[in-house]
Structure 1
Amino acid sequence: MRFARTKNTLRNIAFGSVNRIINIVLPFISRTVILYVMGTQYLGLSSLFSSILSFLSLTELGVGSAMVYSMYKPIAENDHTTIKALLNLYRKLYRIIGTVILVIGLFLMPFLKILVPEELPPDINLYLLYFIYLFNAVLSYWLFAYKNALLQAYQRDDINSKIASIITPASYAVMLLCLFLTKEYYAYVIWLPVFTVLTNILRCAFVNRNFPNMKPEGEVSTELKHSIFKKTTALIGTKLNTVVLNAADNLVMSAFLGLTVIAMYGNYHYIMTAITGFTGIIYSSMTAGLGNSLQTDSLDTNYRNFEKFSFINSWLVGWCTVCLVCLYQPFMQIWVGEELMFPFYVVLEMGLYFYIYQIRKIPVVYKDAAGIWWEDRFRPYVCMVVNVVLNIVLVQIVGISGVILSTVFSLFISIPWENYTIFKYVFHCSSKVYYEKMLFSAATMLLAGTVTFWICSMFEDRTLTFLLRICICVIVPNGIFALCNCKRSEFEGMIAMVRRILKRQF
C-alpha cells in the first residue's frame, strides 16, 4: 500500500505549523509572566525538572521508534493482523515503562538537593514540585500512549497537532489565570497532569474513530519480536545520547553555575528550540513517507530525493542560523533586558550549535526511515561520553561557553559516522559528492551571515530597528543563497517541486 505521501506530509506540516506557533507564543508568554511575576529561580527549577525527567525517559529505550518502524512493512502490505499485534505489544511495554519511570523517579527524590545547592524560594517545597512533574510524565506513558505509534506510522501526526492546538491554549489560559490570581507556583503546575490526561483521552477517541478496526490484540511472531528487540537494543544508545545532549547541559549548569544561569540559558535555548520545532515538523512529517518510499520505490529515486531534501535543508538551516546570529541580542534586549543577556560570543556559539545540530537532520531522518540503528549502535555512546566529559571539564574553565561547545563538538563528530552509515547501508555509494555540497553550503552560509550582520550592525538596537533587521534577514541571505545556487540541479529540482505542490493545491 502506497501512501498519499505528499498530501500527508503537507497536511502534517500545515497543522503541525499551526500547533508549533501556539507552542512558541504561549510558552513565551508563560516564561515572561513567570519571570516577571515569580522570578528567575522558578524558571530555573522548571528547566531542571524537565532535564531530570528527560533522563528518566531513557526507560523508554527507543521502543517507540522501533515499533513505528516495524509497522512500515505490514502497512505497505495491508497486514492488519500484524499491526494489531504490534499495538498490543506496544501497550504492554508502555505500561511497564511508565511504572519503571515512577519507581526510579521516586528513588531519586532524596538526591534532589545535590542538584540545587542554592537557597530555594521560601514558598517552594522541592520534593512536592518534583513529584507533580514526575506524575505528569508517568501519566503520558500510562494513558493510551501506544496509539500514537499508529498515527506516526500512517503519517497522521496532523491529528496530534489538531488536539494540541485545542488543549494547549486552554491549558495555558487556565494555568496563567491561576498564577495571576494566587501568585502561587503550585497553582500553575498542578494543572499539568490534568491536561495530560485530557490530551491522551482525546487522542484515544480520535484514533478509535479514524482507525476503528485497529484494536490491540494478538501476539507478535517470535521473528518480529527478535527484530524489535534488536532494533530497540541498538536504539538505547541513540536515545541515551539524545537525552544527554538535551538534559546534561542544565544539570551541569545547575551544579556549577546556579539556577539564574540556567534561566538565562533557557531563554536563549527556548528561541533556538522554537525554530528547531518548526523544522522538526518537516522532518517528522517526512519520516513515515520516506519509510514507505524505501519499501516501494527504486534506489535511484530515493537517492535523488535525498539530494533534493539535503539541499533544501541546508538552505533552510543556513538562513535560520543567519537570523539567529543577527537577531538574538536585539530580541533579548527587548524581552528580558540587558541584565539577563549573555555576551555576543555566546550568540555565535549558539548559532554554531544550531547549525551543526540541524544540518545533519536529513541523514538522520533517512536512518530512522530505514531502521538502520543496529549498524550505527556504537556512535551515540562515543558522542555521549565526549559530551559529558567535556561538559564537566570545560564548564569549570570557560563557564557557559564550555557547556555549549562540548555539545557542539559531540554533535560534530556524529556527522561523518551517521553519513557513513546512510551511504553504505541505504544508498550503497560514496559520500564524497555529498560532503562537497555540504561544504559549499556552509561557505555560502558564512558569506550570507557576514554580509547580513554587517548590514544589520548599521542600525542601533531599538524596537523599530528590530523590525527592520527582520526584513534584512529575510531578503539578504536568501538573495545570496539564490545567487550562489541558481545553477545547481538541486535548485531547479526545488523550484520544480514547489511548482508541483502549488499546482496540486491550487
Structure 2
Amino acid sequence: MRTKKTVLNLAYALGSSVLLLILGFVTRRLLVFHFGDDITTASQVVEKLFNFFSVAELGVGSVISYRLYEQIAARDAEKISKYMSMYKWAYRVVGWIICLLAAVGAAALPWIMPQVDRGTAYTVYGLNTLSTLSSYFLVTRRLMYTCTQQGYICTRIDLCFNIATYLAKIAIALWAPNYVLYFGVSIVLNTGANLVIARRFKKDFPYVHDVKVTFQDFKELGIFHDLRYFLVHRLSNTIYGSSDTIVTSRLGGSVQTTNLGNYTTISDSATNIGNKIMDSFAAAIGNIVYDKSATANDHDKKVFWGLDLFSYFFGSFVATAYLCLFQPFMTLWMGAGRLLPLGFVVVFCLNEYVGWNHRMVGSYRAVLGHFEQDQWFMVGSAVTNLALSFLLYRPFGVAGIVAATVVAHCIMWVGRARVVCRQYMKGSGTRYFGIQMIHLVTLALCMVLTYRLCTLLPGGIAGLVLRLVVVCLVPNAVNAACYLWTSDAEYLRFQAGKLLMKLKDWRTAQ
C-alpha cells in the first residue's frame, strides 16, 4: 500500500508540475519586461523577508507532524484529532505574531531596497502580508493529507487554482499591466484552493474533529521542549534559503537582484517538481520509522541506503543539468544581457547538489525528532552563511554569496547525517561519509563529461534540445554503470522490478 500511494503521489506531482513549470516561465518573463526591475526586485525581496517572519511558526508543523505519524500508525483517532486541533490553534497564534512582525519589519524596507520606490515597495509588502496571513489561517488541514500519503488530492485541487492564477497573471500583464492586480489575484485564488481543501477534509477524515486544547496540553506533550530546539533549525533554514536575495538587493541593486531571481526562478520551478517527487517518499519514511522501532533492522537499512543512493542520482542529475542548460536556456528566455557569470553557475550547481543529495537523510532526520542533537550545526550554518555572504561579495560578486551558502549547506548536511547515523542507522557514520566522498568523484565525472559534450553542440532552440538529450543520457548512464550493480541499489532494483511487473499486468489487463 505504501508503494502504491507513493507512486500515485509521484504521478500526480509530475503530471501537474510540467504545465505549471511552463506557465511559471511565461509569467516571470512578463513580470521582468512589463513591470521592470524595481517591482520584480521588490516582489523577490518581500517574499524572502516573509520567509524570515515565518520563523515565528517555530517549526510547530514539523514537530506535530512527526508525532502525528506515530498516531496514524497506531490508528488512534482521539490523539489524531487532538494533534490536529493543536496544529490549528498554534497556526492561528503564529498568524497573529507574523502580522505583528510584518508591521515592525516594514521599517527595514528602505534599508534593504534603497533603489526601489518606497510606494512600490510598501504596496508589494502589503499584498504579501495578506497572502501570507490567509495561508496561515487556512492551510492546516493539508497536514493530514501529507501524513497519510494522500498529498495527491491537494495537488489535484492546487493544480486547477494554480493554472487559473497563472492565466490571470498573463492576461493582466498583457492587457492591464497593473502590479496590484497582478499580485492580488494570487491572494484570491490561493485562498480559494485552501477553502476547497477544507471542505474536502470533512469528507475524507470524518473521524478527525475539533477538540478543546489548552496551554497545558502543549506543555504535557512536550511540544515546547521540541519547539525550543527546532526553532534553531527553523531559523537556520530560513537564513540559508532567503539571505542570498536580501544581501544581493542591499549590495548589488535591482538589476543584479532581478538577474539572480531569474536563475532562482528556474531552480525553484525544478525544486517544486523535485519536492513533489521527494515528498512522495517522506510520509513513507515516517511510517517506516514509527511502524517498528527507532532503530533500523536489516530490511530498513537496505531501504535507507537505496533511498540515499536515489538522492545522489537525483542530485547529480540536477547539478549536471543546471551546468549544461542554465546559460543556453537563459539566453533564449531572457536574453544574453541577463546572464550571470559561469563561475556563479558552477557554485550554484554545487549548492543544488548538496541539497538534493542529502534530501532523504533530511527526511529521516525530520521524523526522528530530538532537534537538540544538531542544533549547533544549524547555528554554525546560519552564522557562516551571513558572515561569508558579506565577506565574499566584494571580491566575487553574487558568486561569492552563493559560495557562502554552499559552505553553510554542508555544515547543515553534516549535522543531519550525524543524527541519523547515531540514532537510527547506528554505527553507519563512517560508511555514510565514505560513500559521499565516492559520490563526489562520480559527480565530477558526470558534470565534466556532459559539459564537454554540450560545448560541441550548436546554439539556439535546436542546440538546447540536443543538450537536453545529452543531459538526460550521459549522467544517468555514468551513475547506472557505477552504482546500479552495488548492494546499495538492491532496494531500488527491487522496487523497479515491482513497478515493471505492475505496468506489465496493467497493459495485459487493457
Q: Which interval holds the TM-score relative to the shorter structure?
A: over 0.9
Aligned partner letter, 2:407: F
Give the match for residue 240 of structure 1: 235
1:403 aligned to which of 380, 401, 404: 401
- Say if 1:317 and 1:355, in contact at 8 Å, map to a contact too: yes
Aligned length: 500
Q: Does residue 68 of the first structure (1) align with residue 68 of the second (2)?
A: no
Give the match for residue 118 of structure 1: 115
Q: Deviations over 1:315-366 (max 9, x none)?
A: 1211221111111111111111111101111111111111112211111110
- Say if 1:394 and 1:406, in contact at 8 Å, map to a contact too: yes
Give the match for residue 148 of structure 1: 142
Q: What root-mean-square deviation, in Å, do the aligned CA atoms of Structure 1 and Structure 2 show?
A: 1.8
1:28-43 to 2 correspondence within 5 Å?
Answer: 28-43=25-40
Q: Does residue 176 of the first structure (1) align with residue 176 of the second (2)?
A: no
Give the match for residue 380 of structure 2: 382
Q: Does residue 83 of the first structure (1) align with residue 77 of the second (2)?
A: no
Distance in 2 of aligned mates of 1:430 and 1:365? 17
Comparing 269-278 and 337-346, the one that deviates more: 269-278
Give the match for residue 475 of structure 2: 477
- Secondary structure in 2 matching 1:239: helix
Q: Deviations over 1:190-226 (max 9, x none)?
A: 2122112201101101111111221121448858744
Q: Does residue 372 of the first structure (1) align with residue 370 of the second (2)?
A: yes
- Say if 2:165 and 2:189, in contact at 8 Å, map to a contact too: yes
Distance in 2 of aligned mates of 1:149 and 1:282? 17
Q: Does residue 199 of the first structure (1) align with residue 193 of the second (2)?
A: yes
Distance in 1 of aligned mates of 2:210 and 2:500? 39
Distance verdict in 2 for CA 1:304–1:76, change over 3 Å: same
1:257 aligned to which of 252, 277, 286: 252
Give the match for residue 448 of structure 1: 446
- Say if 2:305 and 2:489, in contact at 8 Å, map to a contact too: no
- Say if 1:52 and 1:247, in contact at 8 Å, map to a contact too: yes
Using the size of structure 1 for normalisation, the TM-score is: 0.95
2:419 aligned to which of 394, 404, 421: 421
Give the match for residue 211 of structure 1: 205
Distance in 2 of aligned mates of 1:465 and 1:180? 30
2:265 aligned to which of 261, 270, 275: 270
- Say if 2:6 and 2:280, in contact at 8 Å, map to a contact too: yes
CA-CA distance at 1:183 after TM superposition:
1.8
4+ runs of 1 displaced by more than 6 Å?
Answer: none
Structure 1: gaps spanning 5 or more residues: none
- Say if 2:381 and 2:411, in contact at 8 Å, map to a contact too: yes
Distance in 1 of aligned mates of 2:102 and 2:483? 51
- Say if 2:311 and 2:358, in contact at 8 Å, map to a contact too: no
Give the match for residue 430 of structure 2: 432
- Say if 2:329 and 2:464, in contact at 8 Å, map to a contact too: yes
Distance in 1 of aligned mates of 2:202 and 2:383? 43
Q: Deviations over 1:39-79 (max 9, x none)?
A: 23222111111111111111101001111111112111111
Distance in 1 of aligned mates of 2:335 and 2:424? 49
Distance verdict in 2 for CA 1:430–1:480, change over 3 Å: closer
- Secondary structure in 2 matching 1:215: coil
CA-CA distance at 1:493 after TM superposition:
3.6
Structure 2: gaps spanning 5 or more residues: none
- Say if 1:22 and 1:168, in contact at 8 Å, map to a contact too: no
Q: Deviations over 1:263-290 (max 9, x none)?
A: 1111111222222222222322222211
CA-CA distance at 1:408 after TM superposition:
0.4
Aligned partner letter, 1:353: N
Distance in 2 of aligned mates of 1:182 and 1:272? 29
Using the size of structure 2 for normalisation, the TM-score is: 0.94
Distance in 2 of aligned mates of 1:125 and 1:450? 44
Distance verdict in 2 for CA 1:345–1:131, change over 3 Å: same
- Say if 2:65 and 2:147, in contact at 8 Å, map to a contact too: yes
Aligned partner letter, 1:191: V
Distance verdict in 2 for CA 1:486–1:56, change over 3 Å: closer
- Say if 1:327 and 1:470, in contact at 8 Å, map to a contact too: yes
Aligned partner letter, 2:289: L
- Say if 1:9 and 1:285, in contact at 8 Å, map to a contact too: yes
- Say if 1:153 and 1:288, in contact at 8 Å, map to a contact too: yes
- Secondary structure in 2 matching 1:377: helix
2:222 aligned to which of 227, 233, 245: 227
Distance in 1 of aligned mates of 2:445 and 2:218? 53
Aligned partner letter, 1:264: N
Comparing 164-173 and 298-307, the one that deviates more: 298-307
Distance in 1 of aligned mates of 2:238 and 2:77? 33
Aligned partner letter, 1:383: S
Q: Deviations over 1:379-422 (max 9, x none)?
A: 21111011111112211332111110000010112232221111
Distance in 1 of aligned mates of 2:256 and 2:21? 22
CA-CA distance at 1:180 after TM superposition:
2.0
CA-CA distance at 1:292 after TM superposition:
1.2
Aligned partner letter, 1:197: T
Distance in 2 of aligned mates of 1:119 and 1:6? 50
CA-CA distance at 1:8 after TM superposition:
1.6
1:314 aligned to which of 312, 323, 334: 312
- Say if 2:55 and 2:235, in contact at 8 Å, map to a contact too: yes
Comparing 406-415 and 496-505, the one that deviates more: 496-505
Distance in 2 of aligned mates of 1:64 and 1:398? 38
Give the match for residue 11 of structure 2: 14
Distance in 2 of aligned mates of 1:486 and 1:58? 41
Distance verdict in 2 for CA 1:382–1:95, change over 3 Å: same
CA-CA distance at 1:131 after TM superposition:
0.5
Distance in 2 of aligned mates of 1:98 and 1:417? 30
Distance in 1 of aligned mates of 2:281 and 2:497? 19
- Say if 1:19 and 1:164, in contact at 8 Å, map to a contact too: no
- Secondary structure in 2 matching 1:347: helix
CA-CA distance at 1:165 after TM superposition:
0.7
- Say if 1:73 and 1:295, in contact at 8 Å, map to a contact too: yes
- Say if 2:302 and 2:488, in contact at 8 Å, map to a contact too: no
- Secondary structure in 2 matching 1:213: coil
Aligned partner letter, 1:485: Y
1:284-295 to 2 correspondence within 5 Å?
Answer: 284-295=279-290
CA-CA distance at 1:181 after TM superposition:
2.0
- Say if 1:288 and 1:369, in contact at 8 Å, map to a contact too: no
1:48 aligned to which of 16, 38, 45: 45
Give the match for residue 501 of structure 2: 503
- Say if 1:83 and 1:214, in contact at 8 Å, map to a contact too: yes
CA-CA distance at 1:486 after TM superposition:
4.2
CA-CA distance at 1:492 after TM superposition:
4.4
Comparing 265-274 and 215-224, the one that deviates more: 215-224
Q: Does residue 392 of the first structure (1) align with residue 387 of the second (2)?
A: no
Aligned partner letter, 2:44: S
2:127 aligned to which of 119, 125, 132: 132
